[in-house]
Structure 1
Amino acid sequence: MEYLGYFASIIIGITLGLIGGGGSILTIPILVYLFAINPDQATSYSLFIVGLTAMFGSYSHYRMGNLKLKSALYFAVPSVISILIIREVIFPQIASTLFSVASYTVSKDFLIMIIFSILMITAAISMIKKKQPDLKSTETNYWQLSIIGFLVGIVTGFLGAGGGFLIIPALLFFANLPMKQAVGTSLLIITINSTIGFVGDLYIGTPINYTFLLSVSAMALIGMFIGSRLSKKIDGTKLKPLFGWFVLVMGFYILAKEILL
């Protein structure tokens, strides 16, 4: 299963490079089901893998002129605040076992995977929809962008997900960015969010296997390089519905596996 996991790690990078999001949706299931990492620790690992991969991707988009720094900062600053609140204050306080009913026990790990599967299904539906926002206005609504950034930070903090599938629509609707700039700016925001979240985990003493983490990250970086190259030739918006169907199937699989098995 490990060999399959390393191969799947390449897809994380390809997805981030092509559509500026979605990589984090794949990272948690890959870590949990292919590498047998427990969901709690997988959220920390996901932050590092996605953050490092997105950093290289954002640099590539910077060279192509696809970064809008002001929009990124208005989104990222409140997002970082909510990430720190969730990961450093709330998350450590959640008990490993939440409650038991008869012989059925609901654990913290179970809750993480159930919420993550629901998030995957929701994100998949938004990807499958082909309707694009009307960008007649060129004015950026920084206030609403900051509020959404704070909310996305909650998701990132709790699930270890970069949130690109939420950031992209926000940048399209409220920052009125063209798709290419939304992808590049999203990668910068993901880099900031994930890095801060991971550093926070180190601060509270989360155990990290750096050899494993760097090896998976290396495979994701190979994927990012491939994805960035392909993005110059392929329109990421055309791939979103296809990727959305894949994520939808994965979401229902995780939901069924956790509840039924």
Structure 2
Amino acid sequence: MLPNIPFTDLVTVASGALVGFILALIGGGGSVLAVPLLVYVVGVRSPHMAIGTSSIAVAISALANMLSHWAAGNVRWACAVVFSAAGIGGAFAGATIAKQVDGQKLLILFGLLMIVIGALMLRKNRGGGDPAVRLTRDTARAMLPRLIGTGFGVGLLAGFFGIGGGFLIVPGLILATGMPLTSAIGTSLVAVVAFGASTATSYALSGLIDWRLAGTFIGGGLIGGLIGIGTGKLIGGHDKVLRSVFSAVVIAVGLYVCYRGAMYFLT
């Protein structure tokens, strides 16, 4: 006899699996779908609750990926610590501001951000940069202000929208340090963990995290991640096509979120 699993749990696991699958398959971007999935598919009525719940899921998912990049030597820890420390302040500020904004207005802004992220994903990633770049006494004078300023700005957006912000962090790190893409991706995950945990803490203190829902969503994400890793090995070099398709999906969902938010105020 099959166990009597609530339909909401099944939908939550499936939504988490989709996010985890995309994260594992194309290396990022799946977390931006977490809030729309929680609101429009799972049925979380409060946008603030959806943002708070998704932020803890994003942080844990990023932690798992960060450990693998650390083992591969792709994390520049000095840069990561400075960037993350500045971003934590921004994330707390962003989360505090977001909780004062009307939930439906927040969804419209989130939809606009999705459109921007989808467009950024279509841009060709460049693999250049200096593999030897490090934050040292010699480079600190030029690098520190850029790391702190960029980190705070990205953290502000990550906290406001409850996302990991990987697609903002990676170009921010490249701009601030000149490190290559592979190092920027590995280093960015440290910041994603920090920003997600900061945002989750802020929302948790306000009672805006559904912990049972978060656990179910994360469980689905782990399953989807394993499937995504296996699928990635099978498709090989076709990931660029998938990234383009996914970016189009992100833009389409962003337009839908904006439409639903606008209709709320027009009806």
Alignment TM class, shorter chain as reference: 0.7 to 0.9
Segments of 5+ residues of structure 2 without an aligned counterpart are 1-6, 135-142
Deviation of 1:8 (Å): 2.8
What are the equivalent positions in structure 2 for 1:14-93 lying under 5 Å apart? 14-37=21-44, 38-88=46-96, 90-92=97-99
Q: Indicate how the Cα distance of structure 1 residues 225 and 187 shifts in structure 2: closer, same or farther if over 3 A, else same.
A: farther
Partner of 1:119: 113
TM-score of the two chains, using structure 2 as the length reference:
0.81
Larger CA deviation: 238-247 vs 150-159: 238-247
Q: Indicate how the Cα distance of structure 1 residues 168 and 15 shifts in structure 2: closer, same or farther if over 3 A, else same.
A: farther
Instruction: Give me the whole-angstrom Cα distance separating, in 1, the residues matched to 2:230 and 2:74.
Output: 14
Q: CA contact under 8 A between 2:128 and 2:181: conserved in structure 1?
A: no
Q: Indicate how the Cα distance of structure 1 residues 131 and 179 shifts in structure 2: closer, same or farther if over 3 A, else same.
A: closer
* AA of the residue aligned to 2:123: K
Q: CA contact under 8 A between 2:159 and 2:199: conserved in structure 1?
A: yes
Partner of 1:110: 104
* AA of the residue aligned to 1:245: A
Partner of 2:176: 174
Deviation of 1:65 (Å): 2.1
Find the residue that maps to 1:174 and give its secondary structure.
helix
Find the residue that maps to 1:21 and give its secondary structure.
coil
Match of 2:247 among 244, 249, 253: 244
What are the equivalent positions in structure 2 for 1:127-138 lying under 5 Å apart? 127-130=121-124, 132=126, 135=129
Q: CA contact under 8 A between 2:203 and 2:209: conserved in structure 1?
A: no
Deviation of 1:214 (Å): 0.3
Larger CA deviation: 142-151 vs 77-86: 142-151
Instruction: Give me the whole-angstrom Cα distance separating, in 2, the residues matched to 1:232 and 1:68.
Output: 27
Instruction: Give me the whole-angstrom Cα distance separating, in 2, the residues matched to 1:143 and 1:230.
Output: 41
* AA of the residue aligned to 1:192: A
Instruction: Give me the whole-angstrom Cα distance separating, in 2, the residues matched to 1:77 and 1:118.
Output: 27
Could you report, residue by residue, the CA deviation over 1:150-209 in whole angstroms, capped at 9, with x for unpaired residues?
11111121111111111122233333333333222222211111112212322x331433
Q: CA contact under 8 A between 1:72 and 1:189: conserved in structure 2?
A: yes
Partner of 1:214: 215
Deviation of 1:239 (Å): 4.0
Instruction: Determine whether 1:192 maps to 2:203.
Output: no
Q: CA contact under 8 A between 2:173 and 2:179: conserved in structure 1?
A: yes
Percent of aligned pairs sharing the same letter: 27
Q: CA contact under 8 A between 1:57 and 1:224: conserved in structure 2?
A: no
Partner of 2:3: none
Q: CA contact under 8 A between 1:172 and 1:179: conserved in structure 2?
A: yes
TM-score of the two chains, using structure 1 as the length reference:
0.83
Structure with the bigger percentage of helix: 2
